[in-house]
Structure 1
């Protein structure tokens, strides 16, 4: 399970770097087009918005897996090691349930509905279901990471 965790983290890191690089190139192209060519390209703003959606949601799953997301752990650090492990297991369970209900089920319904209705983005004509597909994918990743982190905590 540890090798799967490490390989998954490397793949997500690569994907995040790729998305961020494309986002930077897109914004540079947008600025170049507006100020040098005096022409605005309609797809650049929309692509930047979609890339930022993917970057933040996938980045949240990545940080969750590495246990580097923002947390207030002052009281947690005051607990004994056994109580801290119990509390961390409870947190992982709650994260698993949240990811399953909100991101996998809710996000899956969002993807299904937008694909079923045939909603397309205005400038790029991309089905919005593909843009929103990162929500259930990240939910599945968070669920996997929660299971992995749950098994790491010892009493």
Structure 2
């Protein structure tokens, strides 16, 4: 691997480490909010007004960033019947074609997700009062992470054949 690809892989590794911690923090905050919502509703008799909406927005971010993180870990569910039957050059060609198709989808997700987020940025969430731009920004952010990790996985896949035994 060249120095550029090594730098890219190190950057990807660092970004995934930061995203992993962000996912952990978001899941913890969401769990605390939901626990407190249930506790306040059934024990105290008066629930929080913002916790359901905040948890929903956190779930959106968790799902899209988590999908990007799962790509790097190889943890996304897939149908790999054909891929498991092919090995060597045909397997790498199939993996490359699948990665290019996925990257095309991620670019569409980034471009249209950002334009959609801008289009509804004037709307305000009812209980939290934040612009709907922020929850919708999860689409291009998740798409960018998925694109980054798919490219990194493709580099790793192609680079496996170049390593000396």
Q: Please give the range of the TM-score, normalised by the shorter of the 2 chains.
A: over 0.9
TM superposition shift of 1:137 = 1.0
Q: Which residue is equivalent to 2:114?
A: 108
**1:78-93 to 2 correspondences below 5 Å:** 78-93=85-100
Matched, 1:73 2:80: yes
Q: Which residue is equivalent to 1:60?
A: 67
TM superposition shift of 1:17 = 0.2
Equivalent residue in structure 2 for 1:151, among 148, 151, 155: 155
SS at match of 1:119: coil
- Is residue 93–residue 150 contact of structure 1 (8 Å, CA) maintained in 2? no
CA distance in 1, matches of 2:125, 2:15: 30
Matched, 1:125 2:129: yes
TM superposition shift of 1:138 = 1.2
TM superposition shift of 1:5 = 1.7
CA distance in 2, matches of 1:66, 1:39: 42
Matched, 1:28 2:32: no
TM-score normalised over the length of structure 1:
0.93
Q: Which residue is equivalent to 2:55?
A: 48
CA distance in 1, matches of 2:10, 2:54: 34
TM-score normalised over the length of structure 2:
0.87
- Is residue 92–residue 147 contact of structure 1 (8 Å, CA) maintained in 2? yes
CA RMSD of aligned residues (A): 1.2
CA distance in 2, matches of 1:28, 1:76: 43
Q: Which residue is equivalent to 1:97?
A: 104
TM superposition shift of 1:68 = 1.6
How many equivalent residue pairs? 152
